[in-house]
Each structure stands twice: as structure tokens, then as C-alpha cells.
Structure 1
Amino acid sequence: MTVKPILGAKCLKAIGLAAVIGAATPAATSAGEIAPGFDTWDDVLSAADGTTVNWFMWGGSETINGWVDKYFGEVVKERYNITLNRVPIGDTVDAVNLVLTEAQAGVTEGGSVDMIWINGDNFKTLKEAELLYGPWSESVPNAVHVNWNDPSIANDFGVSVDGLESPWGSAQMVWEYNSAYVSDPPRTFEATAEWIHSNPGLFTYPAPPDFHGLSFVKHAFYWAADDWSVFQKPFDQAVFDSIAPKVWAYLNDIEPDLWRGGQTYPAKIAALNELLANSEVYFGMALNPRRTSNFIKNGTYPDTIRTFVHDTGTLTNKNYVTIPSAASNPAGAMVIANYMLSTEHQLVQADPTRWGWGIPTDISTWTEAERAQLASYELGIATLPPGELAEAGLPEPHASWVVNMENGWIENVLKK
């Protein structure tokens, strides 16, 4: 097979460096401080005025890049005199490795990275290495709009947030299909296998470490387990060994009837999107339930693409931003993170005509007028109702499981 996994090696580098650096001392707030080094929010705003924030974030979507530049960059420049320098990276682990490398070199301030779009194992790595600034996220003014008692927010892939990162988006897996060719999409893993065998060449999934492809593998693990709650606890090798063979057997069984006979996999979700758009395959997947409608609207997809969820549910997670302990500009990063949580921005982010992303804030804290505006937004042609999505939501596995699932797929599916 031609796809060469990359993230596994990068993760091993990150984990190895983290083990070496683990003795680093994290910042801590003193009595009366809202964040390390700042007594009041006015102090934060004053320190941020006229500065630049280097935000390292996955840059694989030109749409998201444009949103960030417009709805964050332009606003924080005008309102707070902060220049947002969006630093595009191929994978979040690239930023994690940079932070770890600088720490290993003795950098404790003036670091290259001010803020990272992050979640899951990458957050776990930096937290365990004690290389994160904070606590701060529960002290910014707009944190009042976050329900920190919600386990899906207070825990990032099972790892306690502890004030070290702030949510800014919400994601949930949906399956895409072309209704021009598929009238009744399969809603179980068993039915999916039957469809694939009956329609060879018309289904595939991205190769992990692509996050969508890895999510497909995670869903297979949830299906194979008698009780998916085992994945909410830290990794257990014996439990993994009891479930994984069923997953590998399933994925190897469908492989010969995948696109191109399973001899290769799309390397990135963008490649799968293109295959679906061109009707080379009839199924796709998205981690933004609103994305499919947006793609239809902008002409990326034909208007026959629709979405559905499996009967057993789909994984949900939050997107966060975090600040390394050696960041040059923690004040500027906190100002941007605070603006992300404002009802002003959350309404932009939820608006299908402007951004169209899930929001992590508690709308019960909003004004009646703001809630009415949110309710007025029309669902896109391919977007499932919020109630159906909420009912189908499943929590992500504890971060310690993910690298084992990924590496297991490489050894037992890709290399077979």
C-alpha cells in the first residue's frame, strides 16, 4: 500500500521528549491573581495591547483559515490592537514537538508558540510534561458562558482540563452519502460491511493519522466492544487485546472491496471529499455536522449529498486553545481566547452563512435576544437537527487509547 503514516512517529517523538522534560515546573496562580502574573483583566488587556500572538493551528482547510483571519484576526486588531499571526501546520503534533524541543533546549520564556489549537493526546502530552501556562481558562471574563461542570468540557478525551485550555468549538462525526445513488444508507457496522461487499470500490476512509480516518477506526472499536465505557478509563492492554482482533478482522474483511481494492487509502480528508464530490465513492465523513450543507452551498458538493448517524451513535469532542508555559505573549493569547467565548463571536461561529461550526458555550447564559437569534438560523439542506445529533453523541475515548488504536491499525491493517 502506498500511504505512509506519519503521525505515529511524530507522536513517539513528542512522548519521548515529554518523558525527558516531565520535571519542568508549571506556572501557578498566586492568591488574587486571575492568571499567572496578572491580578486583573485590565492588566491582561494592557499587556496585550500592541502585541502579536503566534497561533499555531492546523492549516489544512482554506475555509477555516479564512474564517480565522476574518472573524478573529480583523476583530482583535481593531478592538484590542493585537496582531494575530496564524501559523499553519500540517498536524497539531508539529506545534507540540516545537514546544517540547524548545523546553529541552532550556527555553522558559520568549518561546515561539503563544497559542495552539489542540485537543486529545496532544493536550495530554503537554500537560503531563508540565509545559502549559495556567490555570487561566476559568478566569477570563467570558468563561461565564462555559459550563465547566459538563464532563465533555471539563475533560478533554478523558484528561482533566484543570484551567489549562479553553474551548472554542464543538465537533461531532456524521457520515455523508450521495442520495442519488444510495436511498437508504447503512446505519450499523454490519450493514456497512454488507453494502461495501455488494458495491465494491465505492467506499473508503482516510488513512490514520488523518483525524477523520482515525475517528472511523475509533468508531469500529466502540462497535466491537460490549461496553464502550471501557474507553473512558486510561488505556488497559488486556482490554485492548480482547477487542482489537474483532476490529482488525472487520477492517481487513472490507479492505478488498474498498476504493481501488483497498490497495491505497486517501491520505487526507480533502482527498475523500474530492472522491465523494466526483461520485468516485458514494460515502464520506465529516467532523462538522454543518460542513456538508456549506459544501453544497459553495459548490464543492453536488446537492444530492446528505448526512446520517449510526444507530449506535457518533463521537463528539471539543476544540480547545492552550498556551505554552514559555509563550512570549500569554496576555494576547488570553484576550483572543476570551473573545472566542463571547456571545458576539459564538453567534458568528454558529451562523451557517458565516462560519457554521458547533459552539461549546452554554446558551442559558445568553440573553433572550441572543438565543432568539441563534434559533433563527436555518439548518442547511444536509444538516441533521440538533436534537438528533445530541441524542447520538458519544464521548471520545481517553487520550491514552488513541495512539494504540492508530499504531494497531498501521500494523494490523495497513501493513497486512
Structure 2
Amino acid sequence: MNNHSYIKSTRVKIPVKLLIKAVVTLSCIAIITISTPLLGQREVPLYDWEEVENAAKGKTIYFYAWGGSEVINDYIKWAGTRVKDLYGITLKHVKIKDISQTVNKILAEKKAGNTAEGNVDLVWINGENFKNMKDNKLLYGPFTNALPNDKYLAKKQNITMTIDFSEPVEGMEAPWGMAKFVFIADSARVKKFPENILDLLAYAKKNPGQFTYPRPPNFHGTTFLKQALIEILSGSGQEVLRKPVASKQQFLAVTRPLWGYLDQLHPVLWKAGKTFPQNLDFQHQLLDEGEISITFSFNPNTAENRVLNNEFPKTVRTYVHFSGTIGNTHFLGIPFNAKNKEAALITINYLLSAEAQARKSNPKIWGDPTVLNIDILADEDQKHFSEIKRSKAVLSDADLGKTLLETHASWTDAIEKEWAARYSQ
């Protein structure tokens, strides 16, 4: 950190000399602030980006992120080498099984009075974890409008970049990647792909043991349950899922069709539904080994990535249900008490660059869809994306179909608890 003084708050940290500049150029600042409002009319923080870069040099940041995929871990490792080369920042990936543990860690630090020396500088979040951090004032910001690469984000095209599981983002987390729930089938064994959740049940009944899903509260297992519930309710019946759970009675009434569906599905699952995969990687292995014929992913490019790595047969194909499929955005946040906020800001901005986003979206690397609006990028930056070739194992963006919005975060916890009460053994 530079030796100049800082005025601090839990939201923003602005050098005194920047405040002097602000007084001198008050009219200009007012125009900038008003022209870029965030949801809820929060004031946009104004940064001298060169000042931020200087303060970030030589710093080490601890990035708490899910570590369950070697493909993703390798990408984060690569990103670490780039921010080191470009900005002198050391990125340490703290591999987490469940990011809610990190949220609890930050909350414990706050309760202990640790407001400036937190152990977490950067966190990969969305959904209920974002809501918990936001509700408990554990996030630094709003900051996203201050990022130079923010102007390239496809926010207008994707509502999930501004509404996270029905919770307004309000600049408190930066979009990092897109997700869409897709099914993956071995076309050598599945001649006609199920068109909806009821078709899937019919397929499972005709082909016992050929399908399964990870045990909730595994994220992917819970997402399958929500996809099933949304499809079963259909149309206007889905609207109740966008609002907080009102009561236990309401929850049971709304979800009753889901439990009826699962009661029929479980006896015809892999291992007769008496055991469930602990995670999606294990479930994918079951397909690769021929034990099941249909799996799923929240990454539309998973099939191609795994074929390239000889982890899926070449006959796998991606498909979606006709009525639509759950989609969301995953984000990067900065804890309110992060020690090195400037280095975290620089790192996030780099992760939103065309170079970093194109590498991440390449199925040979990770295959995570970009959050950038490619059409407004410079020609040189667009070339990063146009050079990426996709195989017949995955769908085009157009063929991914309609996006179904996520449920309100309160439904996730309620569904997981009810599932455990009914089916845990």
C-alpha cells in the first residue's frame, strides 16, 4: 500500500488526494455518478485506476473458490501466472468444497471485530451464498462500475448478470461466467433424447439404472431438483418460486408434485436410488464407464471438454428440454474486510478481459461461457473467440433454448432440507 493516508469505510477506501481532486472537479464527478447509477440508486465509487494498480503491486491475494475440478483449478493457476506477470500480484487459490464455509468464516471474522485484516480477498459466489453475504453486509462495494472492463459485459442481454437467484446484484459482485443446465446422453445407447422431465421419468422406467443425480445438498443435485420442480409447475405456477418461501405449509403445497415425481423416479435410478453420487465428477465417471447413459452439467461445454480429455465416449451429445432450462451467472466478490482490495479489483478486471474470458470459454481449457458482449469488443479481441472451434458434442448458443430463471435462494435451502428428511439413509 502507498504511504498516503486513507479515509476508510466498510464500503469504499479512497485516497485523500483523490478526494481533493473530487472537490476541484465536483461538477464532472456529479455527472459521472449520475450517468452510471446502479440498482437501488447506490453511488458508484470513483477510482483512479492507475492508483489502484500501484497499490496492488507486490500484494498477495487469497482466492477462495471451489476446488473440485482439475480443469478449473488449472485455469485459475494459469490466471495467477498472468496477473503476476502483468501486475505483480500473487494469486493463491484456496480450494473449497463448499463456499458456504467461507461465508461463515467471513461472518465469524466480522463478529470478532476483524474489519480490515480478513483472510479472504476474493471469493467465487452466487445464489444463496451471495444473498447471505449481502444480507450480513459481508461484501465490499458497490465496485463493478469502476472496473474498466465492466463496459464490455453483456448485462443488457442477460438479466442473470444483474439478478442473482432473484436477488439484485447492485454492483456488489462481478459476473465471471455463465451457466446453463444441460443434459448429456450417450447417443449410442439413447436413441431418442427425453424432451421434458416427464419424458426422463418414462425413459428411466424403461431403462432402470441408467440415470441418477448427485446427493443434495450437492449444488448440481439440488439444481436437478429445481429444474424438475420448475418444469412440473410450468407457466404462471413458476412465479411463486421467484419470491421467498412464505411458510412451511406453502412450501409443502408447492413442492408436493416434486416429491411425487421423485417417489416414482428413485426406484428406477442407478443402484435403485438407494445410494447417490457424492458429486458430478463421479456421476460423469459412471457415464464414461457405461453404468449410466444420461448425465447433466451446468456447463454447456462439458461434453466436448471431457471428450477431448478422453473422459467421455465420442458418441455423447448435449441436449436440453423443450420448455427451457435453468440458467444463471456465477460471480466474483470481495469481502468487506479483505486486506488487499486493490489487488482483488485488479485481478477481477483481468478475469473479465477478452484474453482471460476467451481462454476460459474454450472447451479445451474449461468451456465456461463468457460474460462479455463479443460484438462490442475490438476486432483483435473478437478474434480470441472466433478462433474457438466447437464439436458436435455440444449445442450452439441458439440451440441452448429458453433460459428458466433460478428460484429465490430461500427455496434452495428448503428443498435440500426436505429432500434429506424424506430420502437420506
Shared fold per TM-score greater than 0.5: yes
Partner deviation per Cα, 1:139-172 (whole Å, 9 max, x = no partner): 1111111244442111111111111110111111
Question: SS state of the match for residue 175, structure 2?
Answer: strand
Q: Which residue of 1 aligns with 2:208?
A: 200
5 Å-filtered alignment, 1:107-126, equals 107-126=114-133
Of the candidates 358, 363, 371, which is equivalent to residue 347 of structure 1? 358
Structure 1: gaps spanning 5 or more residues = 1-24
Of the candidates 268, 281, 289, which is equivalent to residue 300 of structure 2? 289
**Partners of 1:162 and 1:29 in 2: CA distance:** 18
Of the candidates 337, 341, 346, which is equivalent to residue 330 of structure 1? 341
Question: SS state of the match for residue 378, structure 1?
Answer: coil
370-379 or 277-286: which moved more? Answer: 370-379
Structure 2: gaps spanning 5 or more residues = 1-8, 23-28, 34-42
Indicate the percent of aligned positions where both proteins have the same amino acid. Answer: 34
Q: Aligned in 2, Cα 1:266/1:353: closer, same or farther, shift over 3 Å?
A: closer
- Contact persistence 2:360–2:367 (CA under 8 A): yes
- Contact persistence 2:204–2:211 (CA under 8 A): yes
Give the C-alpha shift of residue 414 in structure 1.
3.1
Q: Does 1:221 align with 2:229?
A: yes
Q: Does 1:27 align with 2:17?
A: no
Give the C-alpha shift of residue 399 in structure 1.
1.4
Partner deviation per Cα, 1:345-384 (whole Å, 9 max, x = no partner): 2222222333321011222321234335523422123110
Q: Aligned in 2, Cα 1:379/1:239: closer, same or farther, shift over 3 Å?
A: farther
- Contact persistence 1:224–1:243 (CA under 8 A): no
Partner deviation per Cα, 1:224-281 (whole Å, 9 max, x = no partner): 2143232222333354332211100110111111111111100111110111110111
Q: Which residue of 1 aligns with 2:404?
A: 394
Letter in 2 for 1:162: E
Q: Which residue of 2 aligns with 1:362?
A: 373
- Contact persistence 2:196–2:321 (CA under 8 A): yes
Partner deviation per Cα, 1:379-412 (whole Å, 9 max, x = no partner): 12311011011x2321111212211111121123
- Contact persistence 1:29–1:37 (CA under 8 A): no
Letter in 2 for 1:41: W
- Contact persistence 1:57–1:92 (CA under 8 A): yes
TM-score when normalising by structure 2 = 0.87
Q: Does 1:411 align with 2:421?
A: yes
Q: Which residue of 2 aligns with 1:174?
A: 182
Q: Aligned in 2, Cα 1:203/1:354: closer, same or farther, shift over 3 Å?
A: closer
Of the candidates 130, 134, 137, which is equivalent to residue 130 of structure 1? 137
Letter in 2 for 1:348: R
Give the C-alpha shift of residue 36 in structure 1.
9.8
Letter in 2 for 1:73: G
Of the candidates 211, 215, 223, which is equivalent to residue 219 of structure 2? 211
Q: Which residue of 2 aligns with 1:85?
A: 92
Letter in 2 for 1:308: Y
Give the C-alpha shift of residue 211 in structure 1.
1.1
**Partners of 1:148 and 1:260 in 2: CA distance:** 43
Q: Aligned in 2, Cα 1:26/1:412: closer, same or farther, shift over 3 Å?
A: farther
Give the C-alpha shift of residue 333 in structure 1.
0.6
Letter in 2 for 1:267: Q
**Partners of 1:190 and 1:354 in 2: CA distance:** 34
**Partners of 1:28 and 1:349 in 2: CA distance:** 30
Q: Which residue of 1 aligns with 2:270?
A: 259
Q: Aligned in 2, Cα 1:39/1:302: closer, same or farther, shift over 3 Å?
A: closer
Give the C-alpha shift of residue 38 in structure 1.
7.1
**Partners of 1:186 and 1:326 in 2: CA distance:** 48
Partner deviation per Cα, 1:157-199 (whole Å, 9 max, x = no partner): 1111111110111111110111111111212121111111111
- Contact persistence 1:27–1:36 (CA under 8 A): no
**Partners of 1:232 and 1:245 in 2: CA distance:** 17
- Contact persistence 2:118–2:338 (CA under 8 A): yes
**Partners of 1:338 and 1:162 in 2: CA distance:** 17
Give the C-alpha shift of residue 298 in structure 1.
0.9
- Contact persistence 2:47–2:146 (CA under 8 A): no
- Contact persistence 1:38–1:44 (CA under 8 A): no
149-158 or 170-179: which moved more? Answer: 149-158
Letter in 2 for 1:279: G
Q: Which residue of 2 aligns with 1:315?
A: 326
151-160 or 223-232: which moved more? Answer: 223-232
Letter in 1 for 2:207: N
Letter in 1 for 2:240: V
Of the candidates 38, 52, 66, which is equivalent to residue 74 of structure 2? 66
Q: Does 1:382 align with 2:393?
A: yes
48-57 or 374-383: which moved more? Answer: 374-383
